[in-house]
Structure 1
Amino acid sequence: MSKSNTHLLLLCLAVTLCICACQSKGADDNLSKPVAYPDIPFEQEVSIKYPFETPQEALKVSEDRNGVIQVLTREGLFRPHGGAFLYPGKLVKDRTYRALSDKKLRDMVLYQEQFVYLDSMAVLSNAWAGKLFDIHGVAGARIVSPSERFTFLVAGKELIHVIKANEIVWKINMPEKLLMVKYNPALKTYYLLSETAIFSLDEDDGLLTNLYSSINLTCFDFINGGQKIAVGTADGYFTYDLTTNKASTKNSQLPCPAITSIKNIDGSLWLGSDKGAFRVKKDGRFDYYFGDRWLVGQRVIDIAKAKNGQVLLLTDKGLSKLDFNTQTLYEKAMYFEDQVRNRHIRFGFNATLGNMEKGNVDTGMLKDSDNDGLWTAMYLAGQAFRYGVNGDAEALENCRESLDAMERLYTINPVEGFPSRSFNRSGYKEHLSDPERWQRSDHPEWDWKATTSSDEAIGHVFAFGVLAEVVKVPAIRNKAIQLLDALMQHVVDHDYYLVDYDGKPTLWGKWNPDYVNGFPPMVGDRKLNSSNIIAMLQTAYHFTKKEIYKEKAFELMEDHGYLQNLMVPMEDIGKATEDSDDWAEMLSQSWNHSDDEMYFLGYWGLYRYAFNDSLKTQYKTAIKDHWEAERPEKDGLWNIFTAMVSPDDFDQEEAIWYLKQYPMDLIDWTMVNSHRKDIVMLDTNFREQATAKVLPPDELRIRRHNANRFALDGGGEGKAEYSAGDIWLLPYWMGRYLGLISGSGEDIRPI
């Protein structure tokens, strides 16, 4: 045979082997590759707050060309002091120009980006070498509006003067009290607003024309290059075309229709109201800024453009500066990585910072939780994915530290293979007041928390499986597998129960067939516990290869109907029948969002470590069915988990929306949305979905993945800061690991 024929034969053999290999691949390998989201910069806003130290009647806010911000009040000028994101400053008396503090300033405007003031005598400024000091001669002067060539309109109770260089150009009597006056350079005309009318006022001859009459008018600003005005009312806003003299239909379907201020800022319409401020988006919906996350106070008095794209929101309680920066998802991740390490690591656990003084993160206390193992497992898995993406040494060290904390949950108590909920130094009052949970360890310095639930168990198994699969460092991988084995051996040895120090099963750690199948098929715990225990046993078998775990899993599926249980469609889950016991009735009053978290954490082991392709196909059906039920919540983690089984259909856009829209401020502020008129409310339902569409995360209270994202109101008045470790970093790094989100250059390194 010639050399060329030999090469051809070898090539054909190689192609044949490749085809055979492809045909023998599992279900995972036949999945198409997802198209990764390109990590390009996006807008991310934060709020920097400046409260008044003492109550003030605020009037206006502006920033001049020098970046100086001034707030006008009845008591004079104030300016911001200090202030940074998460570290509020304060508004202090502006004593920069001592002589101004003696004047009773009535109004403040910008002209040529310089501050111009109005007092009872004159229009004046410190700019232009202080030469502007025009006597206006208007009794009760309260409004000043500049036009061109240093000409100013001054309005009082009944009189309007237009002045220039200390000369009265013309004057007229005003039939009703004005709220606002603005000059339109595009049309060379002043426009005036009262509570009942819109007027035009010719700048040359002072001709006053009533353009439009109504009631409860409050404010206006120019839009469309000065061809229209947007007009606020006590019940919505409308637009008025200055070229056709036609008004649009009023829009009252707003977050709060009681409009107090309107500003056109770089083409975006901003509206202030009795309850916060909102920006009109291109699609007609709104970005809503309300609650202590965004505002000092509630009622917006004035809105102003600041330098560098910032927006100033003045309320009755102080000033908020919205700072709009651009960043990539990776940059946001790095900020959150620092947040976790700086304020949320307790003995290696991923913990909440509690007992804070109204948002002051420097006053907080790291708190133990019933779910320390669960929140830490989610953070730990995220760090494992981070390491899997780019071999980050810090991520590896974070894995070591948190895995040590997880390991100690097992060794600090006397029960073999039983994970404690948490541990803490002994002597705390709460330990003494909760003797059922808090137990003394063999060491006099430490107590441990008992009554561990299934939430912790599935979280542990998820994290141990991810570590064993992703982190190829023997010490870490082996420890994860050892802990996984210890937990599952305990469960198998105790007939599918978590058995506590007292020899009794814990309240929630129950996967035994008598317990699980004691629920009617429509009660979610039957489906959930079946799904979780099969996932746990599969994960244990995959990494330990102990046949007992495989045997027990098939026994549960074939002899006790666990496969049938976990395949029950989500649309069949609901309230228990009338003949059910009280426990089943209690557990099925409404949808349990903690169950969603347990399901999806379990899906990692259920699908990836399936015993065979036939089961994997069935598991995929169950996971997709659950995801379809969850899609309205737009939870980024659920969408990213679903990409594991369905890379072509997992709502990638919504997953990225979740990651972008989650606020940088993770403080548990009280947020209220039930008053809003721009949302479609639904009737009471089993899933507790309050609205037709879920609101963005930055308009809601901070929530972990086990909470109902449709709950409109709630929060803790800024007394706690949540960790990004489980809320944000897990879905981000998991998305990176699964190839759903691209890197941004600086973090793409070989392992």
Structure 2
Amino acid sequence: MLLNAVWAQDLFNPPHRLWKPQEDVVYLQEVSEKIFTPSVVTSVAVYEGVCYALLNQEVFLLNGNTFEKADTAPGRAKMLKTAGGKLWVTTEEGLFMFDGEEWKKMDHRKFVDICMHRETVHAATGNEIFRLEEGTFVSLKPETGYRTSNVTMVMEDGTQLLADPVELGPIQRIASYSGTLYILRLGELVCFDGQVVNGDFTDWGSLPSRDTRDMLGAGSRLFIATNRGMAVLRGASVYEMKGSDGLPVENTTCLEQGFDGDLWIGTERGAVRMVNDEWHYFGADLWLPDNKVNDIAVADSIVYIATDGGVGTIKYEPYTLLKKAGYYERHLEEWGHKRLGFIHLLYQKNGEWVREVSDNDGGHTAPYLAAMCFKYAVTGEESARREAIESFNAILWLEKIVPIDGFFARAIWSTTGDKDEMGRHGSGGLPAKWYPTPDGKWFWKGDTSSDEVIAMFYSVSVFHDLVARGKEKEEAKELLRRVANYIIDCGWVLKDMDGETTRWGRWNPEYLLRPYGYVDRGINGLEALTFMETAIALTGDPKFEDGLQQLLEWDYHTNTIRQKNVFPPENIATWDDEHAFRSYYTLLRYVKNPALRSVYLRSLERTWEVKRMEQIPWFNYVYGAITGNDCEADKAVKHLREWVLDCKEHNYRNSHRNDLFVEPGYTSYERGRKRISPREMCVKRGSRSAIALDGGANGSRVMEPAGFLRDYWMGRYHGFIDAPETNDPDLISVEKNRGKQLGAAPYNGPQKPEFY
């Protein structure tokens, strides 16, 4: 049975709710495929649903995901075009037409471009334009020659005296716009009415460069691609489109009309889609086989992008966010990210996908645990509850495997079941600390950091509040009690098996209120306060009341206000933002003192204002759920729709772009040059940064998409996102590919013990 969504008031009870729930409407999701070729793809066209491409001046057609030579097609080909319901190819020997059955030579001349004008096929050589009439190309050149628009050559009776004949060429491209034929000559736009060659028809503006590449008429505008941006003719005015206008790359190469009122732009560094006043950038590795785009062809909801390294296809499929969540859940299963209740990224080892036993398995599992808790609270699905319990038990195991109550491991490695090796490095590159279990089945990793502790308190407290029953609730409460108790007993630090303080498990004033650790006083103090308030709320033990009072005497609460570091750059750590919002979401659920609550809200307000420009749902939803204030819920939903489906960490590059500016209405406090859409980067973990311009891992790692699942189901739980109105299963779910293995092989080793 499905349950109704639970609203934010159930956990935070804000005095108002100024944000509006966002509809989970059907949208078009990009699905990519890269087809690599041994040589440059110079031209591409779609005819009767089939993609044709030119490689080494030969015509190929796409069959599945490979190109096959079109055996009867002409050779020495230069350009592919579809026009008038036929496929055309220009060659050194003339112009050929394909009708679906055979290639027919239509003209012996060397044509440079083809277009539709007044519902008729027109073609141009370097100096002349022809119209197709009853299977023959007829020249448009008047018997008396072309006329000029230069008034100095026009006599009173309308005749013209010309010392030299007027020429159309050299023609680069032709295009039809508003019922008129336009000619692009190198660095010059010409209007041609059948007689007059008019180079002086605009009243305002000029081309941004003489290095012109392509031209396309689309609706009310005529677009010209140049190496310094695009020119746009509208009426009698020419204006420029540059990086400052939002064009990601100014060095443009080709143009093509889209399928939904959009325009596709090829560049020297990727492809661009302009739609509804938005710019979508598709770069090499992540989307395309190569950077340089030579041609683009568009079919019904699919785009073919010809590059120097092959063809990138971008297919647009109808999705809802609910379906996307289902897709990512299926991905976790198919790719083998799950192991013993933990969630892992994958990497390639000797040609095989292997789960990484990381430096922070508990922290990386926490978003998935929270996601399944929120999902269960929204849907009541027992499968979500089982997943939550499985991940909680894994996090519980991290503490149970250690012989010291309250200290817990970063990771657990099987001596027989794991293909990954025990990592040699720990925090900050220090040597890893691995300890064997008495039975010889496992090693567990010590030197536990503050990262793992706040991840545990956040996710386990959500599990306690939303999912746990009976013994589960008791185990969750006791786990957090033991950890909080151990931190106090150790003097506000974590002590490892050797009795030494771990590298980053420090909340003591000797560290935070001294120069060495002063930069962490805000974030670590916020964490320590969270530990105490959570332990007080769940256990009622007066020891934690005393611990909280000690922190307040050290003035830790005041330090939380400026916990977010914005300067100097070397002190800005993306993961600290993750820790901070885990703390806010937990601390502000449990704190009862109104004066303290106001301090923590001031801290949250300051921190969210810094993070607001990135438009990441995690930050927006935490802020909105706690305060009830406007949290740009529309931007958060848009962000979720823009996540890429391919979870491989392909390289992405944005630092070269010409549109690196902060959107109006935002301030970059962290010196970020631009908010980068998830569409323009690879899938990242929850602590992802939207201002990191470049990244990736050469496609050699596969990231778990747990961050999306947490953000989506959190949005559903708090009412930021409505359930889809459609019941069409194709729009709200994905087919389960049971038993399908794409990544790491299933774990085959000893199982974790049962504790209750």
Which amino acid is the alignment partner of residue 315 of structure 2? D
Which of 25, 43, 55 aligns to 1:40? It is 25
2-structure distance, mates of 1:681, 1:626:
18
- Structure 1 Cα separation of the partners of residues 129 and 719 of structure 2: 66
Q: Which residue of 1 aligns with 2:341?
A: 348
**Aligned match of 1:99 in 72, 77, 98?**
72
Structure 2: 5+ residue runs without aligned partners?
1-8, 142-165, 202-206, 426-430, 733-756
Select the residue among 540, 549, 573 that pairs with 2:544: 549
SS at the partner of 2:254? strand
Q: Whose relative contact order is higher, 1 or 2, with alpha carbons under 8 Å and at least 6 apart?
A: 2
Residue 116 of structure 1 deviates from its aligned partner by: 2.5
Separation of aligned partners in 2, 1:259 and 1:574:
37
- Partner SS, residue 248 of structure 1: strand
Partner of 1:721: 702
Partner of 1:451: 447
* Mapping for residues 366-381 of structure 1, pairs under 5 Å: 366-381=355-370
1:545/1:341 CA distance change after superposition, 3 Å: farther
From the superposition, tell whether residues 148 and 396 of structure 1 become closer, same or farther in structure 2 (CA, over 3 Å).
Answer: same
1:537 aligned residue: 532
Q: Residue 621 of structure 1: CA displacement?
A: 2.5
Alignment partner, residue 744 of structure 1: 724
CA contact (8 A) 2:256 2:296 kept: yes
Partner of 2:436: 440
Return the letter of the residue paired with 2:474.
Answer: N
Contact 2:274 2:280 in 1 (8 A): yes
Q: Residue 251 and residue 644 in structure 1: after superposition, are their counterparts in 2 closer, same or farther (change >3 A)?
A: closer
Look up the match of 2:745: none
Q: Does 1:137 align with 2:108?
A: yes
Q: Report the residue type matching 1:312 in the other structure.
A: Y
Moved more, 433-442 or 714-723: 433-442
8 Å Cα contact 1:108/1:144 also seen in 2: no
Matched with 2:508 is: 512
Cα distance in 2 for residues equivalent to 1:211 and 1:67 = 41
SS of match in other structure, 2:514: coil
Which of 556, 561, 564 pairs up with 2:555? 561
Q: Match of 2:72, SS?
A: helix
Deviation, structure 1 residue 668: 1.6
1:470 counterpart = 2:461: no
Question: What is the aligned partner in structure 2 of residue 643 from structure 1?
Answer: 624
Closer/same/farther in 2, CA of residues 258 and 147 from structure 1, 3 Å limit: same
1:563-612 alpha-carbon deviations (Å, 9 max, x no partner): 233244758x756xxxxxxxxxxxx8432222211111111221111143
Structure 2 partner of 1:229: 222
2:309 corresponds to: 317
Distance 2:13 2:113 in 1: 72
Say which of 287, 290, 297 aligns to 2:280.
287
Deviation at 1:392, TM superposition (A): 1.4
Provide the identity percentage.
24
Are residues 274 and 589 of structure 1, via their aligned partners in 2, closer, same or farther at CA, if it must alter by over 3 Å? closer
1:424 pairs with 2:419: no
The answer to which of 194-203 and 336-345 deviates more is 194-203
Alpha-carbon distance change, 313 to 350 in structure 1, aligned in 2, over 3 angstroms: same
- For 1:329, the equivalent position in structure 2 comes to 321
Change (3 A) 1:403 1:121: same
Aligned partner of 2:51 in structure 1 is 69
What residue number does 1:86 align with? none
Whether 2:602 is the aligned partner of 1:621: answer: yes
Work out the CA distance in 1 between the residues paired with 2:193 and 2:102.
29
Aligned-pair distance for 1:503? 1.1
Q: Matches of 1:298 and 1:568 in 2, distance apart? A: 42
Q: Specify whether residues 686 and 590 from structure 1 end up closer, same or farther in structure 2 by C-alpha distance, changes over 3 A only.
A: farther
What's the secondary structure of 1:607's corresponding residue? helix
> Is the counterpart of residue 497 in structure 1 residue 498 in structure 2?
no
**Would you say the 8 A contact 1:41–1:327 is kept in 2?**
yes
Equivalent pair of 1:574/1:686 in contact (CA under 8 Å): no
Distance 1:628 1:250, change over 3 A: closer
> Which residue identity is paired with 1:490?
Y
Partners of 1:520 and 1:526 within 8 A in 2: no
- Matched to 1:59, the amino acid is T
CA distance in 2, matches of 1:35, 1:148: 48
Work out whether residues 114 and 121 of structure 2, in 8 Å CA contact, stay in contact via their aligned partners in 1. Answer: no
Q: How does 1:162-201 map to 2 (within 5 A)?
A: 164-165=133-134, 167=136, 169-170=138-139, 176-183=169-176, 187=179, 189=181, 191-201=182-192
Cα distance in 1 for residues equivalent to 2:276 and 2:36: 32
- What displacement does 1:386 show? 0.9
Q: 1-side partners of 2:575 and 2:372: how far apart? A: 22
Moved more, 440-449 or 464-473: 440-449
1:637 deviates by 0.6
Q: 2: CA distance between counterparts of 1:419 and 1:38?
A: 42
The alignment partner of 1:447 has SS state of strand
Structure 1's 743 and 178: CA in aligned 2 closer, same or farther, altered over 3 A?
Answer: same
1:222 alignment partner, SS class: strand
TM-score, normalised to structure 2, is 0.82
**Paired position in structure 1 for 2:693:** 712
State whether structure 2 residue 123 is matched by structure 1 residue 153: yes
Which residue number in structure 1 is paired with residue 615 of structure 2? 634
Change (3 A) 1:520 1:563: farther
Aligned-pair CA distance for 1:163: 5.6
> Which digits, 9 at most, give the CA deviation of each residue in 1:209-239, with x for residues without a partner?
54588721111000235xx421111111112
Question: What is the Cα deviation at residue 478 of structure 1?
Answer: 2.4
Letter in 2 for 1:264: Q
Give me the whole-angstrom Cα distance separating, in 1, the residues matched to 2:75 and 2:567.
Answer: 69
More helix by share: 1
Distance 1:199 1:28 in 2: 65
CA distance in 2, matches of 1:591, 1:94: 54
CA displacement at 1:452 relative to structure 2: 0.7
The equivalences for 1:190-339 within 5 A come to 191-202=182-193, 208-210=197-199, 215-225=210-220, 228-241=221-234, 244=236, 246-249=237-240, 251=242, 253=244, 254-265=247-258, 266-283=260-277, 285-307=278-300, 309-339=301-331
Contact 2:413 2:422 in 1 (8 A): no
Contact kept, 8 Å, 1:468 with 1:543, in 2: the verdict is: no
What CA distance in whole angstroms lies between the structure 2 residues aligned with 1:26 and 1:514? 39
- Structure 1 position 459, deviation (Å): 0.5
Structure 1 partner of 2:744:
none
Q: Deviations over 1:393-432 (max 9, x none)?
A: 1111111221222122123233322110001123879538
**How has the CA–CA distance of structure 1 residues 457 and 112 changed in structure 2, closer, same or farther, with 3 Å as cutoff?**
same
What is the count of residue pairs matched by the alignment?
675
Q: In the TM superposition, what whole-angstrom CA distance separates every residue of 1:238-289 from its partner, at most 9, and x where no partner exists?
A: 1224x64x42246354321111002232432221110111123444x52111
Paired with 2:404 and 2:363, the residues of 1 have a C-alpha distance of 19
Paired residue type of 1:313: I
Structure 1 residue 400 corresponds to structure 2 residue 386: no
Residue 381 of structure 1, CA deviation: 1.3
Q: Could you say what secondary structure the match of 1:364 adopts? A: strand
SS in 1 for 2:255: strand
Structure 1 counterpart of 2:753:
none
Which residue in 2 is equivalent to 1:18? none
CA gap of 1:337–1:257, structure 2 versus 1, over 3 A, is: same
Code of the aligned partner of 1:672 = R
**In structure 1, the residue corresponding to 2:210 is in which secondary structure?**
coil
Q: Which moved more, 1:345-354 or 1:650-659?
A: 650-659
Q: CA deviation at 1:146?
A: 5.7
Alpha carbons of structure 1 residues 155 and 512: separation in structure 2 relative to 1, 3 Å: same
1:632 Cα offset (Å): 2.0
Which residue identity is paired with 2:347? G
Query: Is the 1:356–1:719 contact (alpha carbons within 8 Å) kept by the matching residues of 2?
Result: no
